Amino acid sequence: MELEELGRRIYSTAHLTGEFVLRSGQTTDEYFDKYRFEADPVLLDAIAEAMVRLVPAGTEVLAGLEMGGIPVVTALARHTGLPCAFVRKQAKPYGTRRLAEGAETAGRRVTIVEDVVTTGGQIVLSTTELRALGAEITDALCVINRNPDTPAPLTTAGLTLHALLTTEDLTPTV
Residue 173: per-residue pLDDT:
63
pLDDT tens for each residue of 88-104: 999 888 988 999 999 99
Residue 41: per-residue pLDDT:
97
Residues paired with 112 in a beta bridge: 63, 140
pTM: 0.93
2 Ramachandran zone, left/alpha/beta (phi>0; psi -120 to 50) = beta
Q: In whole angstroms, how large is the CA radius of gyration of the chain?
A: 15
Residue 125: per-residue pLDDT:
97
Instruction: Name every residue whose Cβ is closer than 8 Å to that of residue 157 and which is 6 or more positions away in sequence.
Output: 120, 123, 124, 127, 128
Asked if 70 and 84 touch (Cβ cutoff 8 Å), the reply is: no
Residue 174: per-residue pLDDT:
56
Residue 64: per-residue pLDDT:
98
- C-alpha to C-alpha distance for 82 and 98, rounded to whole angstroms: 20
Q: Is 49 exposed, middle or buried (0-12, 13-18, 19+ CB in 10 A)?
A: middle
Residue 172: per-residue pLDDT:
78
pLDDT tens for each residue of 138-166: 999 999 998 888 999 999 999 999 999 99
Q: Is 25 exposed, middle or buried (0-12, 13-18, 19+ CB in 10 A)?
A: exposed
| Beta strand segments in 57-157, E | 61-65, 84-87, 100-102, 109-117, 136-145
Spans in the chain with pLDDT lower than 70? 173-174
CA distances from 89 to 67, 99, 154 (A): 9, 7, 17
- C-alpha to C-alpha distance for 104 and 14, rounded to whole angstroms: 33
Residue 22: per-residue pLDDT:
82
Residue 148: per-residue pLDDT:
86
